[in-house]
Amino acid sequence: CIRKTIPKLQIILLGSRSVGKTSVGNTILGIMEQEDGRRTAQSVARHGFVGKTEITLVDTPGWWKSLRAFDTLEAIKEEVMRSMFLCPPGPHVFLLVIDADASFKAKHLDAVTTHMELLGEGVWRHTVVVFTRGDWLGPNTIEQYIEGEGEAIQSLVEQCGNRYHVIDNKKADETQITELLEKITWTVAGNGWSHFFPDEKIFLTIEEKTRRVEEGARLRQSQVKAKRKSLRGTVQSSSINVTSK
Ligand SMILES: Nc1nc2c(ncn2[C@@H]2O[C@H](COP(=O)(O)OP(=O)(O)OP(=O)(O)O)[C@@H](O)[C@H]2O)c(=O)[nH]1
Ligand SMILES: [Mg+2]
């Protein structure tokens, strides 16, 4: 048992679409009224407390469950990567959210792995798998689900050093969050109490892309304006022609 508590914790929620990332965030922050089914399109940081621990929690958009990162929209990938810079100096843990009511096969593992690796090589040491929809397990334990679901999920859990936790976002039950926080604390302790160091190069690349996109938008806008102006000029001159006749 670890007695030490962390005064400040930076956490990033990751996972494929609709697995319950935003809901896990709400459950951690103790927000019960949940807006159902609103898709997260951008990474956002939220703040709150769990006990005495001050938490910065970054929610991210999800990727399609069966798509490898190569096939995911650039905009989604950039948002996922940007999440690391929304909780400076870096996240202590990544919570990789998986829905425990669905199947998890090799193609899903491929999707998870390729997306996680967008963040850098060291992510796995900082990752805890969070299974959602614990309410769908019925009498089964999460271990039975992992066992029964097969190789893909087992190797994912192993890749994350067997760090996992199951949550039912529909239940107001504080112990599931206290236990999650304990597992997070073990993870952080296991990493020498240090956070993950995001690669500055990724940040610069995203910044550069955003700058270019904005510049392109500005250019297009000024072209449209110029065109409108010249059109107005033609209309005016033609109306002068009309009135002078
Ligand atoms: N029964 C049950 N439903 C859940 C649970 N967690 C989330 N849901 C439901 O699953 C749906 C998707 O949840 P979200 O939290 O929006 O999922 P998300 O991963 O943030 O989705 P995107 O932002 O679109 O990628 C919502 O209708 C939630 O109410 C759970 O533990 N149990
Ligand atoms: Mg969401």
For every one of its 245 residues, what pLDDT tens digit does the chain have, with 9 covering 90 and above?
556 778 999 999 999 999 999 999 999 999 876 666 789 999 999 999 998 999 999 999 999 999 999 999 999 999 999 999 999 999 999 999 999 999 999 999 999 999 999 999 899 999 999 999 999 998 999 999 999 999 999 999 999 999 999 999 999 889 999 999 999 999 999 999 999 999 999 999 999 988 998 999 999 999 999 988 888 877 666 665 555 44
Flag whether 113 is in a domain: yes
Contact 169 CB / ligand 1 (< 6 Å): yes
Give the E-state strand segments of the chain in sequence order: 8-15, 44-50, 53-59, 93-99, 127-132, 164-166
Are 167 and 210 in a shared domain? no
Q: Report yes or no: 19 and 99 within 8 Å, Cβ to Cβ.
A: yes
State if residue 23 touches ligand 1 by the CB under 6 angstroms criterion: yes
Bond into 198 cis (ω within 30): no
Q: Is 19 in the pocket of ligand 1 (CB under 6 A)?
A: yes
Q: Are residues 132 and 242 in the same domain?
A: no
Of 14, 17, 18, the residue with max ligand 1 atoms within 8 A of its CB, to mutate for a pocket test, comes to: 18
Residue at 66 is within a domain: yes
Residue numbers of the domain that contains 81: 8-190
Which of 146, 170, 190 represents a domain boundary (last residue)? Answer: 190
Identify whether residues 172 and 222 lie together within a single domain: no
* Atom number of ligand 1 nearest to Cα 41: 23
- Identify whether residues 37 and 93 lie together within a single domain: yes
Of 81, 171, 80, 167, the residue nearest 128 (C-alpha): 167
Residues 70, 16 within the same domain: yes
Q: Indicate whether 110 and 207 sit together in one domain.
A: no
Q: Is 27 in the pocket of ligand 1 (CB under 6 A)?
A: no
Residue 2 located in a structural domain: no
234 shares a domain with 164: no
Q: What CATH number corresponds to the domain at position 127?
A: 3.40.50.300
Rounded to two decimals, the pTM is 0.89
Domain count, the chain: 2
- The verdict on residue 121 lying in a domain is yes
Q: Which atom of ligand 1 is nearest to the CA of 168?
A: 31
